[in-house]
A = this chain, B = another copy of it.
């Protein structure tokens, strides 16, 4: 990451103190030489698998999450080339319906690279980063999501 220190930005936002900021993400990945920015914003949904959700709590193993984001950024750079700026931020703590859970943004000279880099990053965040979601339901129950195993042979076993 040292060689790309001004072109990648990762953040874990403890929602007791910080909010995710899509506008700041757009600003960060902007560049006079870039024409295309693709962004993904994940929000807490009011329903999941037929149950009424009132909120979610995200748990995270911070140092490894940041290492996974950095590795994903290297893969994105290998995929679309060096003219790339990336932002990844993920909320940690308890969120309500409609709150921002994750923001990914990718800026590149042209749009195809931006879409591909953005998609790669959100897939890594979803499938490989050590982040866990616990859903809180209207009936008072709470359940940890099933998720994707990080064990060998279990890669991408669940979406």
Q: Name A's B-contacting residues (CB within 8 A).
A: 22-23, 26, 30, 32-47, 97-98, 109, 111, 114-115, 118-119, 122, 126
**A47-B33 contact, Cβ under 8 Å, with A40-B38, A40-B115:** yes
Distance in angstroms from A16 CB to nearest chain B CB is 23
Q: Given the complex, which residues of B lie within 8 Å of A43, measured CB to CB?
A: 30, 34-37
Distance A33 CA – B32 CA, assembled complex (angstroms) = 36
Which of A41, A44, A46, A126 has the most chain B CB atoms inside 10 A of its CB?
Answer: A41
Q: Given the complex, which residues of B lie within 8 Å of A40, measured CB to CB?
A: 36-39, 111, 114-115
CB distance B23 to A109 under 8 Å?
Answer: no
Distance A35 CA – B34 CA, assembled complex (angstroms) = 28
